[in-house]
Amino acid sequence: MLSADFLHLEQDVELVNRHADLFHLDIMDGTFVPNISFGFPVVEAIARMARKPLDVHLMIVHPEKYVARFAACGAAMISFHLEAALQDGTRPDEILQQIRSCGTKAGLVINPDIPVERLYPYLKAADFVLLMSVFAGFGGQRFIETTYDRVRTLKEEIQRQGLTCPIEVDGGVSSANAGALAAAGAEIFVAGSSVFKAADPVAEIEAIRSK
């Protein structure tokens, strides 16, 4: 939703309601990432109209402070960055558990420069994992090609551990790379600019879905 038109948010929420599977909400704090996005008033407004689940991606320090509040907004999925937890000195497995205890699916995220192996100890505690295919913090960046291999490697490890948690990919995702991402093992596709800046957003959603 970071790429939505905030002056006509209702229209873009309705587009997602009708054609997509979930609302991906990027929360940026100006500290963990240099950018600031939007906060509770916007999330609550979207939640009031949303007929698809809310997927809240926290790009913030101390995510554990805000988990309960985003869950109360109606988030069905909440993810946070492993890097944020490590830099805060908090335990990622405990934050995952905290998210689950709110009745919300818990996800762990890493930026493109963090080896996927760093996620392995936490896979059991996660309901999904999110690989950034651009660096967290800004919409509209170009997809990083090494993501395919990272998805493949992570998928193999998830299977090796006998788990089923889906891999979500976020950043520069479009109908041009969704097919190769799906083939590598990705299951949840976050598309911002490719959809909202498309001449025909519905056609782009359908094109991603068909891959």
Binding stretches for Zn ion (CB under 5 A): 26, 57, 170
Which of residues 64 and 170 has its CB atom nearest to Zn ion in the complex?
A: 170
Q: How far apart are CA 85 and CA 55, in angstroms?
A: 19
**What is the nearest approach in angstroms of Zn ion to the Cβ of residue 24?**
5
Residue with the shortest CB distance to Zn ion: 57
**What is the nearest approach in angstroms of Zn ion to the Cβ of residue 162?**
28
Encode the chain in three state secondary structure: CCCCCHHHHHHHHHHHHHHCCCEEEEEEECCCCCCECCCHHHHHHHHHHCCCCEEEEEECCCHHHCHHHHHHCCEEEEEEEHHHHHHHCCCHHHHHHHHHHCCCEEEEEECCCCCHHHHHHHHHHCCEEEEECCCCCCCCCCCCCCHHHHHHHHHHHHHHCCCCCCEEEECCCCCCCHHHHHHHCEEEEECCHHHHCCCCHHHHHHHHHHC
Our answer to whether residue 200 is catalytic in this structure is no
Instruction: From the candidates 12, 26, 29, 127, give the one annotated as an active-site residue.
Output: 26
Q: How far apart are CA 138 and CA 28, in angstroms?
A: 9
**What is the nearest approach in angstroms of Zn ion to the Cβ of residue 150?**
16
Which of residues 127 and 170 has its CB atom nearest to Zn ion in the complex?
A: 170
Which of residues 172 and 201 has its CB atom nearest to Zn ion in the complex?
A: 172
Our answer to whether residue 113 is catalytic in this structure is no
**What is the nearest approach in angstroms of Zn ion to the Cβ of residue 63?**
13
Which of residues 170 and 204 has its CB atom nearest to Zn ion in the complex?
A: 170
Q: How far apart are CA 187 and CA 67, in angstroms?
A: 24
Which of residues 12 and 26 has its CB atom nearest to Zn ion in the complex?
A: 26
Which of the residues are catalytic?
A: 26, 170
